[in-house]
Structure 1
Amino acid sequence: MITEKLYYQDSTIRSFSAQILHSEQDDHGRFYVVLDKTVFYPTGGGQPHDTGTLNDVRVYNVEEKNGEIRHYTDTFLEAEHCTGEIDWERRFDHMQQHAGQHILSAAFENMYGYRTVSFHLGTETCTIDLEVSGIHEEEVSRVEEKANDVILENRPIQIRWVTEEELHKFPLRKEVSVSENIRLVIIPDFDHNGCGGTHPNKTGQVGSIKLLHWERQKKNIRVHFVCGSRVLKQLQDKHRVIQGLITFLNAPQQDLEASASHILEQQKNLEKTNEQLQAELLVYEAQNLIEQAVVKDTYKLVKKTCRDRPVKKLQQLAVNVTQSTNKTLTLFVNESETKLQVVCARSNDVDINMKEFITQILPMINGKGGGSKTIAQGGGDKMLSPEKLIVEMVRVADDLLTG
């Protein structure tokens, strides 16, 4: 027995009574019931499913499978009859967004020939993908204005069931995807479109449409928008953010953009100054390390253990040391909570290949790394203390330099 779809008879019905045809459990262990009639709209045509209750048991999903409409419930529903009620706020929101999408898509196509190729009704915002590679802000503004004019005119939204043979009588915006039980949603003198979703009776019930932003999506343009009560929510959210920024930036609303731009420019300048100062500090630190170098038979040794220092800074420090003095080998070990990192470098006149050197060091910490003849780096596990690792690194270096 095919379930009677009451939502197609009247999309404003909120409650109903029905006979339970059967209660089942699907392959995933989810309980569901099939009724002789229903107001619950199943997921389809870009519109999400309804939610609500059957005999006060929550209906959390509705799907049409194998010709039957399944109402998925929290618990097994053991009864012959039931009363159902949909979440009207959710349904009406879907009706507003879906009808708004029809109006918006028709406006884009009627005014500029931009065809809608997909529609997504999300929980916060909606999107349409337009078959066009670029779009201008002026076009978006004009389309939004036209769409809201159609809403304010409170035009009727008509439903027509037609046969495939009758389709040629209607100026359809796109081809229908079915050949039987064809349902058209019509806004006279504006839009004719095949659709299986629920819609208000008049465009005025959509409330309003606001286009939020648009972006390139592959070869198309994706337009984000909201309709109805979601427009008010967007306004409230943005107003709350703006009020917070007014307080934070100590500037009136009309000056927020300039004030934020000024702060960002200041931040960039401070970051640049900070980088310059840090570079100067590394130069001074390098000179201090050179002064503390241990003089060996054939080279001077600069060694240092540290904690939670950026490897790039240690690399620059090592370069500063080896480029500022001769016959110098630099060995750094950086310790983090769970890892050890190694940076090693040499002056040009020290006869040791740092890339080969580090390949002998990294196995001691189960590490990986690499580098060049003059500087190398790597990291691994904290298998021994930084001080012990430094001792081992000096030993390996002495072995290599003394042959």
Structure 2
Amino acid sequence: ITAIAEQMFGFKTTSWELGRQRSVIELDTPSVTAEQMGALERSVNEKIRERVPVVVRELAADDPEIETVRSRGLPDDHAGPVRVVDIEGVDSNMCCGTHVSNLSDLQVIKLLGTEKGKKNKTNLVFLAGNRVLKSIEQSHSTEKALTSLLKNGPGEHVEAVKRLQSSVKLLQKNNLNLLRDIAVLIARDFKSKPVQSQLFVLHRYGGVQGRGYSACWKLCFFTRPYRKEGDSEFMNIIANEIGTEEALLFLTVGDEREAGLFLLAGPVDAVEHLGPRVAELLGGKGAGKRGRFQGKAAKMSRRGEVEALLQEFISHRSPEA
């Protein structure tokens, strides 16, 4: 590939990587067009079909023929003969690696595409030999699985996935709108109570059943998969609707026993004092300002400890205490 890319288009190879899954050649050009890549692939596979011999020779270091061999130059401390690999009619190159004796041993080369390289260069990605066969086998298995899941032929897979993506986006939008409405209703219901509690606690999770509403609430409904943006907005809508001048709000969303998000809202001095402690109890981290402290929690199972902490704070702050 290196030799023919230089012959056909003047693209010099500056580095390469023969990885475990795929191989990459770095070409000293800002881009390679689809037409160039197609022509290059056809040419290298033509050489493979022609069964071009590969011959290894050793030349003396002072042999004038060395000057005609393509190379990046010999190391300053080189001693002894120079190893030259000849691909008949294609290339003559210094190299110390192992090589096939005939290009037909490569079977086939498939150029997969290009990626942006370093310093205005282009990475050409390719497969050779058995890797091409393995890739085809994997692609065929994926195609069969998609045919079974999407209930259509391979030619219709892309359109089917596009339709599914559009449906998911619409469902997510509708779900977010419902979530906003529910948050407003929860807040208004709390505010309609004849006796206002100083503490409002709510946890939202995915499930089937839930408890009734009281000073401490527990809400559950099908809203998975969770979206961080939607969950944060849900908590902040409730905080905005209830108001945080008097009441202390502790809201959480996510898995009941594992990870999730939390929001502590209320009087500025109380939140500044309690916020870091709440994050510590939940095994998470957070930040806040102007009476809001929110973040991620790793130990949602410790919500009860946070509630106890808040109850204790309120009891010590109350005039009756």
TM over 0.5: yes
Q: 2: distance between equivalents of 1:364 and 1:144?
A: 59
Aligned partner (choices 230, 238, 261) of residue 162 of structure 2:
261
Q: CA deviation at 1:194?
A: 0.9
Instruction: List aligned pairs for 1:17-36, cutoff 5 A.
Output: none
**Number of residue-to-residue matches in the alignment:** 289
Report sequence identity in percent.
Answer: 22
Query: Is 1:239 matched with 2:140?
Result: yes
Matches within 5 A, 1:152-167: 152-166=49-63
TM-superposed CA distance for 1:202, in Å, is 1.9
SS at structure 2 position matched to 1:165: coil
Q: Is the 8 A contact 1:354 1:372 kept in 2?
A: no
The one-letter amino acid of 1:185's match is: V
Structure 1, 214-223 or 323-332: larger mean CA deviation: 323-332
User: Is residue 331 from structure 1 mapped to residue 249 from structure 2 by the alignment?
Assistant: yes
Aligned partner of residue 226 in structure 1, secondary structure: strand
The structure 2 residue matched to 1:372, chosen from 289, 295, 298, is: 289
- Please tell me the residue identity of whatever aligns with 1:373: R
1: distance between equivalents of 2:152 and 2:143?
A: 10
Question: Who is 2:210 aligned against?
Answer: none
1:143 matched to 2:44 = no
Displacement of 1:141 in angstroms is 1.3
Q: 1:294 to 1:318 in 2, by over 3 A?
A: farther
**Pairwise CA distance, 1:359:** 5.1
2:220 maps to which residue? none
Bigger RCO of structures 1 and 2 (CA < 8 A, at least 6 apart): 2
Of Structure 1 and Structure 2, the greater strand share is in 1
- Residue 281 of structure 1 is matched in structure 2 by 182
| Conservation of the 8 A alpha-carbon contact between 2:83 and 2:96 | yes
Q: Hey, what's the Cα distance between the residues in 2 that align with 1:167 and 1:370?
A: 72
1:224 deviates by 2.3
Structure 1 residue aligned with 2:102:
202
- Counterpart of 1:227 in structure 2 is 128
In structure 2, relative to structure 1, the CA distance for the partners of 1:139 and 1:340 (3 Å cut) is closer
- Superposed, 1:3-402 pairs within 5 Å as 104-166=1-63, 168=65, 171-178=68-75, 179=78, 180-219=80-119, 220-292=121-193, 294-295=195-196, 301-306=198-203, 316-324=233-241, 328-332=246-250, 334=252, 336-337=256-257, 343-346=263-266, 352-353=268-269, 355-358=271-274, 361-362=277-278, 365=281, 369-377=286-294, 382=302, 385-395=305-315, 398=318
8 Å CA contact retained: 2:85, 2:92 = yes
**Equivalent position amino acid for 1:214 in 2:** T
- Where 1:132 maps in the other structure, the secondary structure is coil
Task: Describe the shift of the 1:385–1:308 C-alpha distance in structure 2 as closer, same or farther (beyond 3 A).
Answer: farther
1:166, distance to aligned residue in structure 2 (A): 2.6
TM-score, structure 1 as length reference: 0.61
CA-based RMSD: 3.4
- Please state which structure has a larger fraction of its residues in helix: 2
Q: Following TM superposition, by how much is the alpha carbon of 1:307 offset from its aligned partner in structure 2, in angstroms? A: 6.4
Cα separation, partners in 2 of 1:362 and 1:212, compared to 1, 3 Å:
same
Decide whether the 8 Å contact of 1:106 with 1:173 is kept in 2.
Answer: no
- Distance in 2 (alpha carbons) for counterparts of 1:360 and 1:112: 62
- The answer to whether the Cα contact below 8 Å between 1:157 and 1:202 also exists between their aligned partners in 2 is yes
1:18 aligns with none
TM-score normalised by the chain length of structure 2: 0.75
